Amino acid sequence: MIISMKKGATQEQMNQVREIIEGFGYRVHESKGSERVLYGAIGDERGKERLTCLEAQPGVEKVIPILAPYKLASRETKPDSTVVDLGLGVTIGGRKLTIMAGPCAVENEEQIMEVGAALKESGAHMLRGGAFKPRTSPYAFQGLKSDGLVLLAKAREKYGLPVITEVMDIASIELILEYADCLQVGARNIQNFQLLKEVGKTNKPVLLKRGMSTNIEEFLMSAEYVLSGGNSRVILCERGIRTFETATRNTLDLSAVPVLKERTHLPVIVDPSHGTGHARYVERMAYAAVAAGADGLMIEVHPRPEQALSDGPQSLRPQEFKAVMEGIRRIANAVDREI
């Protein structure tokens, strides 16, 4: 349930409403708009009828049922779009697009420094790179692990780009928190609810990648796990879903962008690299994602894709990425956004 306070409600009236909600056994989620305060009562749905009595409380405008099962992620709870601080002056969710880029996997210092320099020159905002790599084959490159995190931190220090990297399990969270500015939960872990609960307890932004067979409601329920743990800095990433089509690695569901923007206040980005699996399609799908209303992009960049230990066929070379960035700027201007 959402309790909407009247414009001009006093602090005493708001405090009394909070006390009543908590007295009923609910947790209170506060959202401050430009004119009024909204309180979300988070808890057992079976007792929500008791909250309707708050309409008689001084300072309360109305009590509104939340129809969506994802309470904290819903725009009903927070009508204004959330802006997430990623560190080092980088944010996501406002008018400015945020571009995250880098190799699928950190391979060595030369590679990650070369990519970092290219991203900085091209105007990207965030460095992505996998230190722990979930692979379909147990014989494939699994990442440099802690050594990879150290290299990402070196690149961040040299080029001033905040770092995002994937967390695969609960045991690695504490280590990754020492080095990363944002935690990525990959498509394979999007319904690993224990992991989602744990990253919900952290103080770092969390990017959630949509699963290969995850529908929109399930995706938002995964975000709800993180939000309900107390971490409000959640970003959603559309990276393609699995369909019958085999021409591309996945089917990039760009319709998910306006649907998510309608249903949730959380920022939404698109990963056209994983979405298509082919570098030659990344440029056009990146432009389409911006036109569809995405708040940002995640693009794979590697100095030598033919030698990449992971996802080389979908990676852009630095010069190719630079050209794509110029195109993104043009599309952004056309839809009243900027980089």
Angle value at C-alpha 196, between 191 and 202, nearest 5 degrees: 165
Of the candidates 219, 252, 238, the one whose C-alpha atom is nearest the C-alpha of residue 74 is 219
HSE at residue 202, side-chain half, CA atoms within 13 A, is 26
Strand order in the sheet with 60-64: 27-32, 37-42, 2-5, 60-64
Same-domain check for residues 178 and 324:
yes
Does the pLDDT value for residue 47 go beyond 90? no
Residue 139: band (very low, low, confident or very high) from pLDDT cuts 50, 70, 90: low
Confidence (pLDDT) at 126: 98
Query: 134: burial class by Cβ within 10 Å (0-12, 13-18, 19+)?
Result: middle
Same-domain check for residues 249 and 160:
yes
Cα four-point dihedral sign 298, 304, 305, 308: negative
Q: Which tens digit of pLDDT belongs to each residue from 11-23?
A: 999 999 999 999 9
The domain that holds 262 is classified in CATH as 3.20.20.70
User: Poorest-confidence range of 47-56, 85-94, 248-257?
Assistant: 47-56
Same-domain check for residues 90 and 45:
no
Q: Is 71 contained in some domain?
A: no
Residue with tokens 């900085």: 120
Is residue 324 within 8 A of residue 288, CB to CB? The reply is no
Same-domain check for residues 165 and 236:
yes
Region 249-268: mean pLDDT is 98
Does the pLDDT value for residue 267 go beyond 90? yes
Q: Is 70 contained in some domain?
A: no
The residue among 64, 94, 116 that closes a domain is: 64
Region 253-268: mean pLDDT is 98
Confidence (pLDDT) at 135: 66
Same-domain check for residues 99 and 59:
no
Same-domain check for residues 196 and 52:
no
Helix 146-159 vs helix 109-122: crossing angle, to nearest 10: 30
Confidence (pLDDT) at 205: 98
The verdict on pTM exceeding 0.85 is yes
Whole domain around residue 24: which residue ranges? 2-64
Q: Is 163 contained in some domain?
A: yes
Q: Is 160 contained in some domain?
A: yes
Measured in whole angstroms, how far is the alpha carbon of residue 92 from the centre of its chain? 9
Of the candidates 256, 315, 264, the one whose C-alpha atom is nearest the C-alpha of residue 288 is 256
Same-domain check for residues 118 and 216:
yes
Residue 66: band (very low, low, confident or very high) from pLDDT cuts 50, 70, 90: confident
Q: Is 319 contained in some domain?
A: yes
Does the pLDDT value for residue 195 go beyond 80? yes
